[in-house]
Structure 1
Amino acid sequence: MIITSDESDYISFVKARLREQFLMYDLGPLRYFLGIEVSSTSDGFYISQEKYIQDLLARAALSDERTVETPMELNVHPRASDGDPLTDPVRYRHLVGSLVYLAVTRPNVSYPVHILSQFVSAPTSVHYSHLLHVLRYLRGTISHRLFFPHSSSLQLQAYSDATWASDPSDRRSLSAYCVFLCGSLIAWKTKKQTTVSCSSVEAEL
């Protein structure tokens, strides 16, 4: 949304009243906050976490410079029993936790993060290899950003989909959705369903 002069005056008024009650400083236009980068152009706003990803890759200490095209391999359904238990699961938990926060601006990794988060209590070598796959994908797509245009039609659009019995351990399905307002992605989620669906139709309902 483009701020008009009246709105700017009101914002200044609110800032002045807040200063009367609290010790605060006007740091100017938002550029960086809690690992989230915001850049403004004449067309709209871009939100990204490029520096956050760089720091994450540095902490992961990958031994190669490879990149991959997808955040997770197709038709992969990890099990808790896959692979050998990690001798030190702290790194796995730390990296997955960082990915959870990264999904704030990167909806394209929400699915693999959901999958990897299920094994933080007892991760294995196979789970860790899938985690490295996600990191290599992020390395190749580090500049991807969310865009919020200044002007567009005030229209709400929502899309949803579901798998059927995709979890090999309990046969439960996954649901996912994304919501667009004015052409901008504002909400998304991937979640395992609470009950076992008897058909793909039931899973989608």
Structure 2
Amino acid sequence: MSDLGPLRYFLGIEIFSTSDGFFISQEKYIQDLLARSTLGDQRTLVTPMEINVQPRASDSDPLPNPTRYRHLVGSLVYLAVTRPNISYPVHILSQFVSTPTSVHYSYLLRVLRYLRDTISHRLFFLRSSSLELQAYSDATWASDPSDPRSLSAYCVFLGGSLIAWKTKKQTAVSRSSTEAELRAIDMLTAEVIWLRWLLEDFGVSATTSTPLLLDITSAISIARDPVKYELTKHIGVDAHFVRTTVQDQTLALHYVPSELQLADFFTKAQT
């Protein structure tokens, strides 16, 4: 092993250290991605996806050669490691890699033009930030007209720094918005438990429950109250897993108004 000095660049990720904290970005990676995409213009856009866009597999005709689409989407998946603002669009685009169409490709180009406009955006991690976790969970119930499965999303902060986020379609069909939220909480619960274990390995022991903020009171009620188990037999494992972590004080569920629900950012296109 050899000491290569302070970390500055690793696997396409750039790290800038200051007295206040660390900046993480992939500006050079975006430059290379835009060069490979061979965009025919210099236009930029201020949002990665239009509001209320609902792509379908049947949109337009399939691309004669989907290789470029798959390559670019794969690059965006890696780019989303440091760019939470493209998490939702990348989730949408990834659903069509098997048979992309010209319409899907136009949505992809919009994301690239947005990246060109925001190429210098970075994540910042404050040195003086606390080491307490705080998590947000949200779900959209059956929002895709071509697929009845709901969408789960979460984001996790370590102090004031965003350290984890995810947008994922649920594996099962939820029969209500409450069920969709419970499945989203279940996914986030597993992530929070892992993060608490990871922090403990680093010598940072969690002394209090990790607050998990939701914008639906019915899901909080079911997760807290074992009497309501009869209402959720078909999702009993998920509900029991969340309830167990609440009872052993690993998590503490709190209500937050929808306008303050930060995980909502990962469930739909934003203005």
Instruction: Report the Cα offset of residue 152 of structure 1.
Output: 1.9
Structure 2 unmatched ranges of 5 or more: 183-271
2:152 matched to 1:172? no
How far apart, in 2, do the equivalents of 1:147 and 1:91 lie? Answer: 32
Instruction: Report the Cα offset of residue 28 of structure 1.
Output: 0.4
Q: Tell me the equivalent position of 1:15.
A: none
Q: Output one character per residue of 1:160-181: Cα deviation in whole Å (capped at 9) or x when no partner.
A: 2111211222211111100000
Q: Of 101, 111, 128, which aligns to 1:134?
A: 111
Instruction: Report the Cα offset of residue 36 of structure 1.
Output: 0.2
Q: Tell me the equivalent position of 2:102.
A: 125
Please tell me the residue identity of whatever aligns with 2:39: L
Q: Tell me the equivalent position of 2:130.
A: 153
Instruction: Indicate the RMSD between aligned Cα atoms, in angstroms.
Output: 1.0
Please give the secondary structure, in 2, of the residue aligned with 1:51.
Answer: helix
Identity, in percent, stands at 84
How far apart, in 2, do the equivalents of 1:161 and 1:71 lie? Answer: 21
TM-score, length-normalised on structure 1? Answer: 0.86
**Aligned length in residues:** 182
TM-score, length-normalised on structure 2? Answer: 0.65
Q: Tell me the equivalent position of 2:170.
A: 193
| Conserved? CA contact 2:129–2:161, under 8 Å | no
Q: Tell me the equivalent position of 1:102.
A: 79
Q: Tell me the equivalent position of 2:40.
A: 63
Q: Tell me the equivalent position of 1:25.
A: 2
Higher deviation after alignment, 92-101 or 145-154: 145-154
Q: Tell me the equivalent position of 1:10.
A: none
Q: Tell me the equivalent position of 2:159.
A: 182
Please give the secondary structure, in 2, of the residue aligned with 1:113.
Answer: helix
Richer in helix (by share): 2
| Conserved? CA contact 2:139–2:181, under 8 Å | yes
Q: Tell me the equivalent position of 1:20.
A: none
Instruction: Report the Cα offset of residue 196 of structure 1.
Output: 1.8
Please tell me the residue identity of whatever aligns with 1:73: E
Deviating above 3 A after TM superposition, structure 1's stretches of 4 or more consecutive aligned residues are none
